[in-house]
Amino acid sequence: MATSMVNEVKGDDSVPKELLLEKHVSFLREYGQNEDNFEYGITDYLRMSGVYWGLTALDLMGKLKELPENEIVEFVQKCQDPESGGISGCINHDPHLLHTVSAIQVLCIYDRLDAINVEGVIKYVKSLQKDDGSFTGDKWGEVDTRFSFCAVLTLSLLKRMDAIDVDKAVEFVESCMNFDGGFGSRPLSESHAGLIYCCVGFLSITQRLDIIKRDTLAWWLCERQLPSGGLNGRPEKLPDVCYSWWVLSSLSMLGRLHWIDFAALEKFIVSCQDSETGGFSDRPGDITDPYHTLFGLAALSLMGNGALKRVNPTYCMPQEVIDKLELKPQILN
């Protein structure tokens, strides 16, 4: 309940207060070096997204060269399914839109789209659109607004938005809008900051932010900030570093970034670093991972941290990469 949320995270004096960039660089560099590390080995099925998280985080810190480019590009190549054109989380696993988008993001950062069969990817994304405009994650049929976002993210990076029915896709996302102005995973599903990011990002790419009830949604989003400074993903839930990104990037696209208290959020994000191992965790004192490391850094970048490259709020990729591709996702003033 609200009153108990005041103590939602431990206010510990031992938590870090400065940004530990060097620690994070070595954390991410070493993360994939030991194949037999348990956490690394057991999460092989989401490796492609893991590569995107680690690579983007390093690029934001200006350390793209810390990871072996050729090895990574080769890995992406091997993960493309020649039949469907989709890309999997790792070798021997099945293709999925979640990993297809990560792979395309990675190749765009490296400017190496030539390494894969791009037409195959386009064919794959196109094959996953349903008559009502929605997208399934793979051929097995699960529908979710996350997949709508993945689809347009992928196709816009490949400059092939014409491959799908964009109007229908927008119609579906619009049908997922709720009483509070937010969005859920399907029509009538509860609003959730992660899915709001997906839907706002989707509308930013399709240049249709006009359909959003801007201030209703922005108010709901700014109410995610808790006394600890951290952001949660739904009312009466705990804060988590990844929501720093989902909420902040959505507010940024809506032109309402200033509705969040930066100093308080920065303090929370910085306190989620592990000063021994490097990396960020969801909350202070938990185990760190590349996922939270990217979203912690990306949120700091969005708040203007000078030690980091600028991040694009729609794509969660360095702004310079988006500029080079001449992409102009819609952002409200």
| Phi, psi angle pair for 289, to nearest 5° | -155, 165
Please answer whether residues 230 and 283 qualify as being in contact, where contact means their C-beta atoms are separated by less than 8 angstroms. yes
266 near another protein, judged by CB under 8 A: no
What letter represents residue 231's amino acid?
L
Chain positions 60 to 89 lying near another protein, rule: CB under 8 A, are 88-89
Residue (110 or 246) nearer to another protein, CB? 246
CB of 5 to another protein, least distance (A): 9
235 near another protein, judged by CB under 8 A: yes
Chain positions 44 to 63 lying near another protein, rule: CB under 8 A, are 45-46
Q: How far apart are CA 309 and CA 227, in angstroms?
A: 28
Q: How far apart are CA 156 and CA 159, in angstroms?
A: 5
Which residues does 179 contact at the CB level (< 8 Å), separation at least 6?
none
Note the residue count of the chain: 333
92 near another protein, judged by CB under 8 A: yes
The three-class DSSP label of residue 142 is: coil
Comparing C-alpha atoms, which of 86, 162, 167 is closest to residue 128? 86
Which residues does 1 contact at the CB level (< 8 Å), separation at least 6?
236
Q: How far apart are CA 217 and CA 254, in angstroms?
A: 9
2 near another protein, judged by CB under 8 A: yes
Residues in the interface with another protein (CB under 8 A) total 63
244 near another protein, judged by CB under 8 A: no
133-148: string of b/e by CB count within 10 Å (b at 16+)?
bbbbbbeeeebbbbbb
Tokens of 231: 């952001």
Residue (110 or 289) nearer to another protein, CB? 289
Q: Which of 206, 281, 301, 305 binds another protein (CB under 8 A)?
A: 281
Q: Which of 22, 119, 132, 236 binds another protein (CB under 8 A)?
A: 236
CB of 286 to another protein, least distance (A): 5
Chain positions 286 to 305 lying near another protein, rule: CB under 8 A, are 286-287, 289, 291-292
CB of 37 to another protein, least distance (A): 9
Of 16-24, 139-147, 197-205, 320-328, which segment contacts another protein by CB under 8 A? Answer: 139-147
**First CA to last CA across the chain, in angstroms?**
35
Only one residue has tokens 């690394």, namely 40
Q: How far apart are CA 223 and CA 209, in angstroms?
A: 21
Q: Which of 240, 249, 268, 311 binds another protein (CB under 8 A)?
A: 240
Question: Which DSSP state fits 46?
Answer: G
Q: Which of 26, 127, 175, 216 binds another protein (CB under 8 A)?
A: 216
Only one residue has tokens 């890995």, namely 75
Residue (39 or 326) nearer to another protein, CB? 39
178 near another protein, judged by CB under 8 A: yes
Binding site for another protein (CB under 8 A): 1-3, 36, 38-39, 41-42, 45-46, 88-89, 92-94, 96, 138, 140-142, 144, 178-180, 184-186, 188-192, 216, 218-220, 222-223, 225, 227, 229, 234-238, 240, 256, 258-261, 264, 274, 281-283, 285-287, 289, 291-292
